[in-house]
Structure 1
Amino acid sequence: MMAGKSMDPWSQRITEEEMARLKEEFGIEEYSVEMLEGLDPPALFRRGLIAGHRGFRTVLKRIRSGRAFYVMSGLMPSGRMHFGHKLVIDQIRFYSRFTNMIHIGVADVEAYATRGVSFSEAFKLATEEYLLNYVALGLPWEKFRIYFQSRHGTVQRLAFVLGRRTNLSTATSIYGFGGSTNLTHVLSPLVQASDILHPQLVHGPIPGVVPVGLDQDPHMRFTRDLAQAFRLFSVQEEGERIAIYQKGEGNHIDQLLHSLEGRYTVLEVNRPYRAIYLEKASTGDLDELDIHIAAVERELGWLSFISPASIYHLFTRGLTGGKMSSSLPESAIFLSDREEEAKGKVMKAYTGGRATAEEQRKLGGEPERCPVYDLFRLHLIEDDHHLTEIEKECRGGKRLCGPCKKEAAELLTSFLKELREKREAAGESEEFKEALRDLKELGEHPPTEEWAPQV
């Protein structure tokens, strides 16, 4: 853990200018669109929204090899769903091409702890606002399960168990807790870590990915460190060999050795030091070796986890120039906005244009500062050539803000009309009615024992 370094995931607002500092300070890995070459990634992966990642290459290798991984996403039921939230669903839809292990946790415990949202209000928002929009945006019913933190016994019990491997000093160094922080707030990171790790109780110890805003990195660091704290063996690269060391009490080297023989070239076994050394050339992918070892640990009775990956996106710029936020209705396009209401917001939006049409023609606009251009870039235009033409026309002074806003408004109203129709259809579907019954009675849909896909 990084003592003395804290970032508040409940209030932090990160700008692009702060990105380099955060990457250096917290060790966030660089992302490039080339990582997804050949996978036909959607616009948000291609157009500068992804800020970095932790451990995503492990998941990426699984995508390319057709092997199992899971997706974990959470929703905070404290306000209406806007286009910033939509970007997370766009990411999940991309991953749904490669996995049917998608878990969506409703963070009603966290909403109560940090924002005072009642559990009944959270249920209404999560089902009527979020769930319907998830389905309307194209997330297939059969590929995901949704559950409430407050009703999920496994998540609650795991959070309690995870707490044995951390302490208040560690949590304070990450989250910046103070003497006035209420204890419900202090406990909520354990529940969130349990959200992220509990799919490995369903599917076994396999890689997972969590698509979140960069402000959520404290949760991911906390969770990844907890995952490592529950491992029996550690794997290290030492020159031309791979060293596997046992941690904790007892000696389980022989059980692990039995599972490795025939798969890898064993160079040396040091039982007093509880170490196994493998020929590096025989191990191939170290991530897959670690996943194999974690599975052996489970057979030995250990609660072992693979550290989950995270991929971070930047905040969506609001129509007023700052961050898009549910608490500032004029800054956001909500997915449930009526078409005329959304059109009015776009026509009043801040832009990257000049003060006058004459200046615009002479100096050109600044699309990198423009939330209307962001609507094109991230939501409304999939064709890269069309987007490039808009940018060129803006910078060259050929495109003025008025006509540009009108084009955005037309595309937006068409999108919202179609989304509303899909949302209404989803609300009338038998799948939604069944989901509502399960969520009311069980706190999850579908029930885990009926759904769990085979690895």
Structure 2
Amino acid sequence: MFDAYNVEGGVSEEEYRKVVKDFGASLISDQLAKRLDHPLVPDLFFAHRDVGKIMDHESGFSVISGRGPSMNMHIAHLLVFRFVRHFQDKFGAFVFLPFSDDEKLLARDLELGHVLRMSYENLLDMLAIGFDPKNTEVMLDLATLKQDVYNLAVEAASNMTLSTVRAALGFTDDMNVGIHFYPAMQSAHILYPTKKYGLPTIVPIGLDQDVFVKLARDVAPKMGLAKPGDILSKFLPGLTGGKMSSSKPETAVFTTDGPKEVKKKIGNAFTGGLPTAEEQRKKGGNPEVCVVYQYLKTFFGVDVRQQCRSGEYLCGDCKKMLTEKMTQMLTTHQSERAKVEKNLDKFAPELGDLKDRILALK
């Protein structure tokens, strides 16, 4: 169905439940959902490991979520980082935002300059969400790697076997040496707040990337550290009905898209509507398969299920509504993005000249 480097097709609710059982996770209970107090729990963020236990830690806890950027961020990424900010705002969680940009050089045929430029662009999007600089750390592996994190990666690597990494990720003999080491670096990202500050970590993460959390949970006790927990998210469908992918622009609205691009992409979105307006008014639409319906509900809390099924709203009506709301959201986001670029050093002094250093690369 999917792995850390390949995700194909949609996933049914039955498959989600099976995966949770196979992964040794638990569905988020009503009690935990009430405690988390977020509108996308449990519909999107639906399963977990040890979240309640970690939130009860007497010294507090941390939340980590990063990016392995090869392209610009799209709107599904925004959902995850807004969720991370929710933990900071509501529970005072320390937030660590590591960039796995080194992995992109190891796993894909990309140039250093391109990956670093994408890291910078993604960084602006991430920080535009409004994290508290006093309770947030940011790290780009290729530009601002912390010595503590590298040391932790070496320690993790000394406690992992090649056979474990290969079994977990399906690596083969023809793959480079670096990609075999990378799970240790990912574990270091996850365990850094625990090692450095004594804070257990929660990782909001997609099912395809959960293998890295499982590897970190396996190695943590060997390093004398508390196991990290995670919150698993479902996949948000792409505009065309399949997987949303940064490498397929037609499937996603990007954070940098302008009004014309947003209108065009949403105008071509899959709805599963009937061939004619007359038929749809008579028989109604099918919100269960409609991407536009899902986006209205997920991003804006607008539920038009009844109007869709009754035929009161046609696909064009919902597309117009979504276009207006999405354009407004991105306009606000892009404004905040521009402000952040002028104040990166608030998060770390070494970020102040990051753009100049990246542009200097040939």
TM-score higher than 0.5 here?
yes
* Secondary structure of residue in 1 paired with 2:340: helix
Moved over 6 A (4+): 440-443
The 2-side partners of 1:438 and 1:125 are apart by 18
- Does residue 317 of structure 2 align to residue 397 of structure 1? no
Post-superposition Cα deviations, 1:183-231, rounded to whole Å, max 9, x if no partner, equal 1111111110111112122212x3210111111111111110101223x
Change (3 A) 1:39 1:105: closer
Find the counterpart in structure 1 of residue 50 from structure 2. Answer: 55
The 1-side partners of 2:346 and 2:82 are apart by 25
Counterpart of 1:89, as a letter, is F
Counterpart of 1:182, as a letter, is N
Retained in 2: the 8 A contact 1:7–1:176? no
Give the Å deviation of 1:393.
0.8
Find the counterpart in structure 2 of residue 19 from structure 1. Answer: 16
Q: Which of 264, 275, 279 pairs up with 1:355?
A: 275
Select between 348-357 and 118-127 the one with higher mean Cα deviation: 118-127
Retained in 2: the 8 A contact 1:52–1:311? yes
Retained in 2: the 8 A contact 1:149–1:155? no
- Does residue 136 of structure 2 align to residue 144 of structure 1? yes
Change (3 A) 1:360 1:412: same
Retained in 1: the 8 A contact 2:9–2:242? no
Give the Å deviation of 1:353.
2.1
Retained in 2: the 8 A contact 1:13–1:215? no
Counterpart of 1:311, as a letter, is I
Find the counterpart in structure 2 of residue 238 from structure 1. Answer: none
Find the counterpart in structure 2 of residue 105 from structure 1. Answer: 98
Find the counterpart in structure 1 of residue 215 from structure 2. Answer: 222
* Secondary structure of residue in 2 paired with 1:321: coil
Find the counterpart in structure 2 of residue 438 from structure 1. Answer: 350
Retained in 2: the 8 A contact 1:53–1:309? yes
Instruction: Kindly report which structure 2 residues correspond to 1:372-387, keeping only aligned pairs within 5 A, or say none.
Output: 372-381=292-301, 387=302
Find the counterpart in structure 2 of residue 169 from structure 1. Answer: 163
Q: CA RMSD in A?
A: 2.3
Find the counterpart in structure 2 of residue 158 from structure 1. Answer: 152
Change (3 A) 1:433 1:165: closer
Counterpart of 1:313, as a letter, is S
Aligned residues: 350
Give the Å deviation of 1:39.
4.8
The 2-side partners of 1:39 and 1:27 are apart by 21
The 2-side partners of 1:157 and 1:198 are apart by 10
The 1-side partners of 2:229 and 2:174 are apart by 32
Provide the TM-score with structure 2 as the length reference: 0.89
Q: Which of 188, 194, 200 pairs up with 1:194?
A: 188
Counterpart of 1:158, as a letter, is L
Post-superposition Cα deviations, 1:231-261, rounded to whole Å, max 9, x if no partner, equal xxxxxxxxxxxxxxxxxxxxxxxxxxxxxxx
Find the counterpart in structure 2 of residue 79 from structure 1. Answer: 71
Structure 1 stretches lacking a partner, 5+ long: 1-5, 231-303, 382-386, 444-455
Retained in 2: the 8 A contact 1:74–1:107? yes
Instruction: Kindly report which structure 2 residues correspond to 1:175-186, keeping only aligned pairs within 5 A, or say none.
Output: 175-186=169-180
Give the Å deviation of 1:341.
1.3
* Secondary structure of residue in 1 paired with 2:158: helix
Q: Which of 320, 330, 337 pairs up with 1:406?
A: 320
The 1-side partners of 2:322 and 2:4 are apart by 32
The 1-side partners of 2:45 and 2:8 are apart by 16
The 2-side partners of 1:441 and 1:15 are apart by 42
Retained in 1: the 8 A contact 2:119–2:140? no
- Does residue 41 of structure 2 align to residue 45 of structure 1? yes
Percentage of identical aligned residues: 32
The 2-side partners of 1:421 and 1:223 are apart by 37
Retained in 2: the 8 A contact 1:100–1:144? no
Retained in 2: the 8 A contact 1:100–1:142? no
Retained in 2: the 8 A contact 1:149–1:156? no
Give the Å deviation of 1:153.
2.1
Whose Rg is larger?
1
Instruction: Kindly report which structure 2 residues correspond to 1:245-394, keeping only aligned pairs within 5 A, or say none.
Output: 304-381=224-301, 387-388=302-303, 390-394=304-308
Counterpart of 1:56, as a letter, is V
Counterpart of 2:175, as a letter, is T
- Does residue 89 of structure 2 align to residue 89 of structure 1? no
Counterpart of 1:375, as a letter, is Y
Retained in 2: the 8 A contact 1:14–1:214? no
Find the counterpart in structure 1 of residue 337 from structure 2. Answer: 423
The 2-side partners of 1:195 and 1:221 are apart by 13
The 2-side partners of 1:321 and 1:7 are apart by 17
Post-superposition Cα deviations, 1:93-139, rounded to whole Å, max 9, x if no partner, equal 11112124110101011111112333433332222x22222232222
Retained in 1: the 8 A contact 2:138–2:348? no
Retained in 2: the 8 A contact 1:113–1:185? yes
Change (3 A) 1:393 1:67: farther
Counterpart of 1:392, as a letter, is Q
Post-superposition Cα deviations, 1:35-74, rounded to whole Å, max 9, x if no partner, equal 1315531x3225x112311222213434xxx741011111
